[in-house]
Amino acid sequence: MAGLQEKLLLITLILYLSGAVLPLMIRGSPRVSLILGCCPGVAAGMLGLVLGLWGMINPVPLVVNLGCILPGVELGILIDRLAGFFLAAISMVAALASIYSLGYMKIYVKENVAWWSFCYNLFVLSMSLVVMVNNTVVFLIFWELMTLASYFLVTFEYRHQQVRKAGFGYIVMTHLGTVFIISAFFIMSGGANWGFADLAARSESLSATTKSLVFACALIGFGTKAGVVPLHLWLPSAHPAAPSNVSAVMSGVMLKTAIYGMIRLIIDILGPGPAWWGGLVLAVGIVSAVIGVLYALMEHDLKRLLAFHSVENIGIILMGLGAGMIFYSWSMPVPAAIAVAAGLFHVLNHAVFKSLLFLGAGSVYYATHTRDIEELGGLINKMPQTAVLFLVGAVSISAIPPFNGFASEYQIYQSLLALSLAKVSGFWSVAGVLACAALALTGALAAACFVKAFGVSFLARPRSQKAAHASEVPLVMRVGMAPLAVLCLALGVLPQVVMNSLLGVAAQIVPGPEIPLPPGAFNLNLALLLAAIIAALAGLSGLPGGRARRAETWGCGIVPDASMEYTAASFSQPVRRVYQFILQPKREVTTDYTLLPYFNYRIHFEERIKSVFRDFLYKPLREFTIALSKKWRYIQCGDINLYLGYIFVTLIILLVWVR
């Protein structure tokens, strides 16, 4: 059996590589490059999905050594249940995004599509390998490859200055994060053995302080890649800069490799720590969720809005994991495993609905060439199928039953309540319920945000010519999105099936006794009930709207036009005002008038929100760094003799030291 798995693995890797290399070798038209790049990508993704699911169900992990890739560095593969789960999620989203790309990349025919195919396949390949390898050195190599490939994908439209800036911010922030990851690995290994198994064996002998140091480094390092607040700054600029199919993969699954890293290093290798570790992760999760969704609500760029929702959902995932870590530190393996499984469930669900939404945003961009929702409107009539698919994603991300966002947030609620009910101390009892309230706030804000996003871009009348002349996107793009929408519903109504296998995954990390299936079996019944009531009412009232008469919207005597519609800015105004202590909005109204202020002929309104983190955290840090660099600059005078002197002095010091 293992032989077959090994063959599948090799074929998958070769397919990704051929998808990367073939378009570069065969310099055909962009169309040919696209087909050469995407088709192997689709096939590899499907094989990867099979491989991942196999690894997830199979209790015996697959261990293969694929030989040396660098002198002294061997590519050891380990697909256990955890790796299998992440591999399956990555492969599925990547395969569907590849199908979608066949249609979507047509708007980039003037760009270098072969280069895109190369980076894209390499990106997916390195993501898959990041979760499959069993050695920290190889992990870091593929982690870097993943970052670099995604950097070139983010800067694909490098001619725009905005894109180059976003790419720069991305690569700087993620490298800062990588420094912390390397430190964490280095402290763990002590410079001796670099395999995950060696690290796990060594963690027993580490002192509590060292462990906490590793934990902090891992949280900062992986947190940067995952985009937790306040390390999220790169995320809302990098995701919109990339082409939408790439954003879907980056937001849907690349962020999850950081979650994988956290689970692997903190929970699996370090094992149970003090309760404050979990408490910190939970707190970071709450802050990320609430701040992320609040900023999302203020955005009118469809893709920036979705990017901020990634921050929110990473926060929700961390709430589940944090609860799990707290239980783990209390030596309560059963609720710990359930909470970790709840977090993993949200990982899967977020991968599904977020990639669906990003692909939907890409479809909107394809049809209208704008991402600004203030210019959209009425798309439900122009692109009815895309509208349904986007709506499914919007309902799912707003945690509304019976879709999948609700199913996993339900499990996280249960875990947070279990935190309260464990009665370990009064503090945790209150903290659990307060975390529930924070999750409810996040859900309500997300719902408000997606009523805005869907309502303003798809409903009412078009607000610009671009939206008025939109048409439905090619079939292949809808085919790429449809399975994700189906999954949104399927994962929502059958959470028990998914939770059952995820509990298996969690049990591998948090070993303990047999875990009873947590509640939540009612979802299917609820969905059927809702469908039955709606169908019955529709039948009673004649088919919905069968006899509905159509008339113009009431406008107090005038015929309203599109300029009178509620805009995204006006929709979010009450929220902006109520939560102004976080958002710090600044409003400027200037009126041009003749004679008296009552007779104005033009009003200019501008409202901006302050980026609190940029202004109060990053700006001082940046200024400090620049000031420090200026102080050091005097050793850099540009004289080549001086540099040779530096090298000479360094050499002598080294020789003396090594002697």
Q: 499-538: which residues touch other proteins (CB under 8 A)? A: 519, 522, 525-526, 529-530, 533-534, 537-538
d(CA 512, CA 356): 36
Closest to other proteins by CB, 290 vs 502, is 290
Here's the x/- map for other proteins, 267-286, by CB under 8 A: it reads as --------------------
Q: Fill in the amino acid letter for 97.
A: A
Closest to other proteins by CB, 45 vs 285, is 285
Angle ∠(649,651,654) on CA atoms, nearest 5: 110
Cα dihedral 335, 338, 344, 350 in deg (nearest 10): -100
**Smallest distance from other proteins to CB 290, Å:** 10
- Residue list 191-250, contact with other proteins (CB under 8 A): none
Q: Residue 40, preceding bond cis, omega within 30 degrees?
A: no
Among 8, 213, 400, 476, binds other proteins (CB under 8 A): 400
Closest to other proteins by CB, 119 vs 460, is 460
Tokens of 477: 């793009």
**Smallest distance from other proteins to CB 522, Å:** 5
The answer to whether 338 and 411 have CB atoms below 8 angstroms apart is yes
Rg of the chain (C-alpha set): 26
**Smallest distance from other proteins to CB 461, Å:** 5
Q: How many residues sit in the footprint of other proteins (CB under 8 A)?
A: 77
Tokens of 493: 């109504």
Closest to other proteins by CB, 290 vs 487, is 290
**Smallest distance from other proteins to CB 38, Å:** 33
Q: How far is CA 189 from the centre of its chain?
A: 29
d(CA 501, CA 492): 15
Q: What are phi and psi of 558, to 5 degrees?
A: -110, 160
Closest to other proteins by CB, 95 vs 376, is 376
483 is a site residue for other proteins (CB under 8 A): no
Cα–Cα distances in angstroms (integers) from residue 470 to residues 91, 457, 463, in the given order: 32, 12, 12
**Smallest distance from other proteins to CB 190, Å:** 43
Angle ∠(40,46,47) on CA atoms, nearest 5: 90
- Residue list 101-160, contact with other proteins (CB under 8 A): none
Q: Which residue has the tokens 């609190």?
A: 612
Q: Fill in the amino acid letter for 34.
A: L
Closest to other proteins by CB, 544 vs 645, is 544
Q: Residue 230, preceding bond cis, omega within 30 degrees?
A: yes
**Smallest distance from other proteins to CB 298, Å:** 13
135 phi-psi bin (left φ>0, alpha ψ -120 to 50, beta other): beta
450 is a site residue for other proteins (CB under 8 A): yes
- Residue list 56-75, contact with other proteins (CB under 8 A): none
Closest to other proteins by CB, 578 vs 652, is 578
Closest to other proteins by CB, 46 vs 338, is 338
Q: Length of the chain in residues, anyone?
A: 659
The answer to whether 255 and 354 have CB atoms below 8 angstroms apart is no
603 is a site residue for other proteins (CB under 8 A): no
**Smallest distance from other proteins to CB 191, Å:** 47
d(CA 42, CA 347): 22
**Smallest distance from other proteins to CB 601, Å:** 21
**Smallest distance from other proteins to CB 360, Å:** 16
The answer to whether 392 and 402 have CB atoms below 8 angstroms apart is no
**Smallest distance from other proteins to CB 610, Å:** 20
Please name which of 430, 429, 431, 436 lies closest in space to residue 414, comparing C-alpha atoms. Answer: 436
Closest to other proteins by CB, 115 vs 330, is 330
Here's the x/- map for other proteins, 358-397, by CB under 8 A: it reads as -------------------xx-xx--x----------x--
**Smallest distance from other proteins to CB 524, Å:** 10
d(CA 511, CA 134): 20
Residue 157 CB partners (closer than 8 Å, separation 6+): 108, 111, 163, 241, 243
- Residue list 454-473, contact with other proteins (CB under 8 A): 454-456, 459-461
d(CA 425, CA 418): 13
**Smallest distance from other proteins to CB 438, Å:** 7
Among 447, 490, 494, 612, binds other proteins (CB under 8 A): 447
Closest to other proteins by CB, 187 vs 524, is 524
Tokens of 50: 């099979």
Closest to other proteins by CB, 154 vs 449, is 449
Closest to other proteins by CB, 274 vs 455, is 455
- Residue list 537-596, contact with other proteins (CB under 8 A): 537-538, 541, 544-545, 547-555, 560, 562, 564-566, 570-575, 577-578
Cα dihedral 613, 350, 413, 400 in deg (nearest 10): 110
Q: What are phi and psi of 67, to 5 degrees?
A: 90, 180
**Smallest distance from other proteins to CB 160, Å:** 32
- Residue list 403-442, contact with other proteins (CB under 8 A): 406, 410, 413-414, 417, 420-421, 426, 429-430, 433-434, 436-441
Closest to other proteins by CB, 183 vs 573, is 573
